[in-house]
């Protein structure tokens, strides 16, 4: 009888050990899953502004454009202007055309998304601007993002003079129905091309913003791209 009791006790202890082991395994699997998911999302965000975001498509030797306005590009403090943002009730528009009168930009817009390697796509044509269609529409609450080349095999491209924009300059966006959203420049900032902290460019906000991106800085032949990215930040004007 005593032997039977001892045997049952041993089996009970083994069952408890198995239950504890199983519970720990489940916790580890769930924790690893969250870690992997978070790392994957962070990687997509980090790649969006780096690498081929606005890589040049030729051996054309670009002009070094950033030293004149940004003597210390890594520590530039953005300049701001007080502009009352619109409310978040509007749904925004699907952009078809963009105009920036102060730098003589007036061109069509094409949709770009995320490339298989996790980077933001760019327009094939150096004279066009690409709208990141995985983000907000211009005029909606959030940060709409558009990108254009600074140069290509033919020389200066659509955003060659983007660095000349100043606070208060106007950016107009239209859809194919003629609806218009008007933005004013608030500040601009230069980032290293491999910058990973891009929350202020693509992150959420309750305001209606439009951020314009192009390449700047010296051309790194080994990396095949410019060493910096210029971002011009704008907010929608109230009507």
**Residue 215 annotated among the catalytic residues of the structure:** yes
Among residues 124, 117, 95, 118, the alpha carbon closest in space to that of 212 is found at 95
Instruction: Tell whether the torsion through CA atoms of 72, 69, 107 and 210 is positive or negative.
Output: positive
Whole-number Å distance between alpha carbons of 45 and 210? 18
* Active-site position among 161, 174, 215, 226: 215
Residue 215, CA distances (Å) to 3, 24, 192 in order: 81, 49, 10
* Active-site position among 149, 161, 174, 226: 149
Give bridge partners of residue 107 from the DSSP assignment: 98
Q: Are 129 and 96 in contact (CB under 8 A)?
A: no
For 27-86, give the DSSP string: HHHHHHHHHHHHHHHHHHHHHHTSTTTT--SSS------STTT-TTGGGPPPP----PPP
Q: Say which DSSP state 176 is in.
A: T
**Residue 161 annotated among the catalytic residues of the structure:** no
Indicate which residues carry an active-site annotation: 149, 215
């Amino acid at each position: 009888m005593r032997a039977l009791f001892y045997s049952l006790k041993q089996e009970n202890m083994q069952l408890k050990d198995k239950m504890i082991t199983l519970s720990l395994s489940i916790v580890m699997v769930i924790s690893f899953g969250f870690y992997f998911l978070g790392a994957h999302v962070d990687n997509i965000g980090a790649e969006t502004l780096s690498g081929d975001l606005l890589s040049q498509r030729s051996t054309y030797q670009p002009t070094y454009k950033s030293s004149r306005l940004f003597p210390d590009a890594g520590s530039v403090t953005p300049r701001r202007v007080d502009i009352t943002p619109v409310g978040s009730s509007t749904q925004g528009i699907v952009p078809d055309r963009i105009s920036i009168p102060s730098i003589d930009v007036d061109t069509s817009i094409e949709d770009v998304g995320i490339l298989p390697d996790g980077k933001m796509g760019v327009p094939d044509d150096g004279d066009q601007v690409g709208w990141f269609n995985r983000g907000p529409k211009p005029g909606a609450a959030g940060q709409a993002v558009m990108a254009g080349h600074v140069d290509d095999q033919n020389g200066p491209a659509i955003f060659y003079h983007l660095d000349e924009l100043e606070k208060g300059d106007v950016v107009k966006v239209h859809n194919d129905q003629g609806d218009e959203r008007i933005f004013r420049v608030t500040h601009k900032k230069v980032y290293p091309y491999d910058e990973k902290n891009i929350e202020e460019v693509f992150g959420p906000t309750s305001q209606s913003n439009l951020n314009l991106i192009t390449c700047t800085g010296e051309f790194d032949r080994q990396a095949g791209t410019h060493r910096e990215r210029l971002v011009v930040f704008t907010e929608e004007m109230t009507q």
